[in-house]
Structure 1
Amino acid sequence: MEEINIEDLLIRYYDGEATADEVQEIEAWIEVSDENRQRAAEVYTLLLAVDTKNTIDAMDMEKELSTVKMKMKTAGHPVAWWKWMQRAAAVMFIPMAITILLLLNQSGPASSVYVQMLEVETQPGVVTSFRLPDSTLVYLNSASTLRYPSIFTGDTREVSLSGEAYFDVTKDPDHRFIVSTSQNSKVEVLGTRFNLEVFDDMEDVVTTLVEGKVEFKYHKAGSEQKMTMKPGQKTVYNKKSGEIQVKTTSGESELSWKDMKVIFDRTFLKDALHMLEKRYNVEFIVKTAKYDKYTFTGTFTDQYVDEILENFKISSRIRWRNVEKEDRNQGKRLIEIY
């Protein structure tokens, strides 16, 4: 293939705009030689850097921050201050919201192929989306990290996740897509759409399948177990006990975060507060069990966490208050449910 044609095809391939014939053509070209593999990896890394720079350049940071500071000065009370901080979060975090780390080059002793390990990390309160080298679309939730190679080699496409992500996996029958975690579990697919939540400070690993088929592998009593999920199912795996629950869901509530929404669908208070913690970078302290059986239904888009909690208060008489923290430098706002 001609020089210019290759560059154009690689860009279209990584942007997810290539036709089926073009995908087949470029993947065959990549397999021809180690030099081609290396060149494809370099183009992919360059595209990531350009996308991040364009996002930052498109923003007038000084103007945005100046507006936020002025509003905060005139607000005058804690609730209003937090409202402006929440509104400003998307602006303030953009330059450091998507941290792309190029880790050590790795290559086998018998190969001259250099595969760069990439790591995308989001700051609290920020959601981002991007494509993997195989055109798989990923939405990465707040305070999450995804690690993956600049180009997939071998028989599998493997990535590792800490946090929460939604995957729209590009179909490839010859190369299974694997998401590994540090929680004694992993998900294997060929082509599907699913959501995986696996935060380090959580006991549960939650997988929600939207479309396709997923094989969820986990450990129980020292041995590896596996189960095949169907669309509309959600598995909740407890990494301490090894027990797993399978529930039926529309997925609307579990996936609402990727559209910067909060959707409750007969959601228990514990789960509702967990969703709010992720969305607004706050921390809840629950001082009573009297609300445990309460469920909530509703959709929230541009509302602040205070407004959502006020809805809880009106509908269910749930009481809440802000807690003053000893260390004011700590990032998360503390809210008590009593």
Structure 2
Amino acid sequence: MKTEEMNIEDLLIRYYDGQTTADEMQEIEAWLKMSDDNKQKAKEVYTLLLAADTKSAADTMDMEKELANVKKRMKATGRPIAWWKWMQRAAAILFIPMAATILILLNQPESASSVYVQMLEVQTQPGVITSFRLPDSTLVYLNSASTLRYPSVFTGDTREINLCGEAYFDVTKDPGRKFIVSTPHHSKVAVLGTRFNLEAFDDMDEVVTTLVEGKVEFKYRKAGDEQKMVMKPGQKTIYNRKNEEIRVKNTTGESELSWKDKKVIFDRTPLQEALRMLGKRYNVEFMLKTSKYDKYTFTGTFTDQYVDEILDNFKISSHIRWRIIKTKDNEQKKRLIEIY
């Protein structure tokens, strides 16, 4: 069946969800080449799908109803909605928080495979977590103060994205195309279909990969050459980009993945690691002024407690002393807490 005889909006939705057949993919790609208006319509449909899949919007809308309204308006006008008007409409419908920002980075020319690709970037502000799906239906949870960059359509033999921060991936299986996550630390994670957590903040020396299910190939630099190791479920790999050393630990993953459920779970967690987890969750900065607490580890689950309450638990259990540092900088974005 020809594209013009089909409901193009429904086909676009299936195309971005990776549900089209090979023939349908060829037809939609030919349709995209026909005009700039077609490319604009495809862009708008994808933006709505991306926004609708954020976790913050999941419980506030009827997705089928809103898509029906959008398609009705498209058919009524006979042309794509102006870009800025579209974004206003999407924001009004989905209650998208400004804390999670979707950016259109650039439009790329058609590749050899004739697929129109644009680079997208999702950013989260400190203290905010969001979730969404990539064009291949891979589910992503993006942690606080993190950035994920990816193409609007995956082309070629691989599915490549870039992460600066922390994210959890439930990767859609595709035996013919590896899913590759690059980080700012000269390291990559390559998989086919799996569930894993990757932490690679730009201001950290370590890249931490925790594998929940499947198989992960972790690639890293050592002495100028690329090395790789294969991880098994229940393993946590810690790569230090400064000394180029790599360590592997066994873990249940419960503590490492607790952030995506807006929890903080300590499992015999050393103080410095516990403070780092709290810093991400509550957008605070810690100043550790002593090493006398280095011997302590902490176990416990915290969900709705404020950071002050958690620190008070530390104080009760381990006599840890802490205080909030007030500064003269009125523009300071993070609370400063001293451990002394």
TM-score band (shorter)? Answer: 0.7 to 0.9
Distance 1:24 1:124 in 2: 35
Distance 1:118 1:137, change over 3 A: same
**1:216 is matched with which residue: 207, 215, 218?**
218
* Aligned residues of 1:157 and 1:177 also touching (Cα < 8 A): yes
* Aligned residues of 2:157 and 2:176 also touching (Cα < 8 A): yes
* Aligned residues of 1:160 and 1:180 also touching (Cα < 8 A): yes
Distance 1:27 1:146, change over 3 A: farther
Distance 1:51 1:249 in 2: 30
**1:116 is matched with which residue: 115, 118, 127?**
118
* Aligned residues of 2:15 and 2:25 also touching (Cα < 8 A): no
* Aligned residues of 1:41 and 1:151 also touching (Cα < 8 A): no
| Amino-acid identity (%) | 75
Which residues of 2 match residues 160-179 of structure 1 at below 5 A? Answer: 160-179=162-181
Which residues of 2 match residues 80-229 of structure 1 at below 5 A? Answer: 95-108=97-110, 112-229=114-231
Distance 2:52 2:249 in 1: 41
Distance 1:120 1:109 in 2: 23
Q: Secondary structure at the match of 1:96?
A: coil
1:34 aligns with 2:36: no
Name the amino acid aligned to 2:330. R
* Aligned residues of 2:324 and 2:337 also touching (Cα < 8 A): yes
Q: Secondary structure at the match of 2:10?
A: helix
Name the amino acid aligned to 1:159. I
Tell me the CA shift for residue 325 of structure 1.
1.5
Q: Secondary structure at the match of 1:228?
A: strand
Structure 1 unmatched runs, 5+: 17-22, 60-92
Which residue does the alignment assign to 2:73? none
Alignment deviations for residues 157-198 of structure 1 (CA, whole Å, 9 cap, x no partner): 000000000000000000100001110100000000000000
Which residue does the alignment assign to 2:77? none
* Aligned residues of 1:13 and 1:135 also touching (Cα < 8 A): no
1:311 aligns with 2:304: no
Distance 2:132 2:315 in 1: 38
Distance 1:299 1:115, change over 3 A: same
Distance 1:109 1:320 in 2: 56
Which residue does the alignment assign to 2:65? none
Distance 1:51 1:215 in 2: 28
Equivalences, count = 297
* Aligned residues of 1:180 and 1:186 also touching (Cα < 8 A): yes
Tell me the CA shift for residue 288 of structure 1.
0.3
Distance 2:331 2:130 in 1: 26
Alignment deviations for residues 222-267 of structure 1 (CA, whole Å, 9 cap, x no partner): 1100000000000000001110000000000000000000000010
* Aligned residues of 1:56 and 1:95 also touching (Cα < 8 A): no
Q: Which segment is superposed worse, 214-223 or 25-34?
A: 25-34
Tell me the CA shift for residue 50 of structure 1.
5.5
Which residues of 2 match residues 256-271 of structure 1 at below 5 A? Answer: 256-271=258-273
Distance 1:167 1:215 in 2: 14
Tell me the CA shift for residue 41 of structure 1.
5.3
1:334 aligns with 2:336: yes
* Aligned residues of 1:262 and 1:301 also touching (Cα < 8 A): yes
Distance 2:31 2:292 in 1: 62
Which residue does the alignment assign to 2:276? 274
Structure 2 unmatched runs, 5+: 33-38, 62-94
Distance 1:237 1:300 in 2: 28
Name the amino acid aligned to 1:170. T
Q: Secondary structure at the match of 1:236?
A: strand
* Aligned residues of 1:10 and 1:26 also touching (Cα < 8 A): no
Distance 2:119 2:272 in 1: 37
* Aligned residues of 1:137 and 1:167 also touching (Cα < 8 A): yes
* Aligned residues of 1:56 and 1:94 also touching (Cα < 8 A): no
Which residue does the alignment assign to 1:88? none
Alignment deviations for residues 50-69 of structure 1 (CA, whole Å, 9 cap, x no partner): 567x949969xxxxxxxxxx
Which residue does the alignment assign to 1:64? none
Name the amino acid aligned to 1:34. E
Distance 1:4 1:335 in 2: 60
Q: Secondary structure at the match of 1:95?
A: coil
* Aligned residues of 1:30 and 1:36 also touching (Cα < 8 A): no
Output the TM-score relative to the length of structure 2.
0.81
Which residue does the alignment assign to 2:239? 237
Distance 1:192 1:133 in 2: 16
Name the amino acid aligned to 1:177. F
Q: Which segment is superposed worse, 325-334 or 233-242?
A: 325-334
Output the TM-score relative to the length of structure 1.
0.81
Tell me the CA shift for residue 96 of structure 1.
1.2
1:301 aligns with 2:299: no
**1:286 is matched with which residue: 285, 288, 312?**
288
Distance 1:211 1:247 in 2: 16
